[in-house]
Amino acid sequence: MAKINGKYLNDIEDMLSPELQAEYRQVKASYNAHKAKQQAFEELLAVELGVDGGKRLACSYRFGKLSISVEDSKPVASKPVVQKINLAQWLEQQSR
C-alpha cells in the first residue's frame, strides 16, 4: 500500500503496470550500482586525504562538479513516520 507524505504519494511500485515495474527495477538496479561505486570512491578519497579521528568526508556532486568538506561525524537521523494510504484515497485528497 502506498504512503502519503505531505503532498506526495510514496511507494507506488505495486500500482504500476508489469511493464513499468520491469523498467523501474532496471532504474533501481542502475541507481544501486551507481551508489555503490560512489561510496567506494568516497571511501578511497577519504583514505587518500587522511580523514579520520571522528571526522567524515562529505562530498557534493552539484552541477557535475565534485566538492568536498571535512565534518564532524554525526549519527544518522531517523526517518519520520508517514501515513499509509491507497491511491483512491490520495486522489480524493488531491481533489479537495
Instruction: Summarize pLDDT for 36-83 with one digit per residue, the tens.
Output: 999 999 999 999 999 988 899 999 999 989 999 999 887 777 777 777
Cβ neighbors of 23 (< 8 A, separation 6 or more) are none
Residue 70 DSSP code: E
Question: Domain range for residue 82?
Answer: 3-94
pLDDT given for residue 77 in this prediction? 75
**pTM exceeding 0.75:** no
Query: How many structural domains compose the chain?
Result: 1
Residue 1's pLDDT band (cuts 50, 70, 90): low
**Do residues 67 and 60 lie in contact, with contact meaning Cβ atoms separated by under 8 Å?**
yes
Give dist(CA 53, CA 25) in Å, integer.
39
Residue with cell 503496470: 17
Report the DSSP pairing between strands 83-84 and 67-72. unpaired
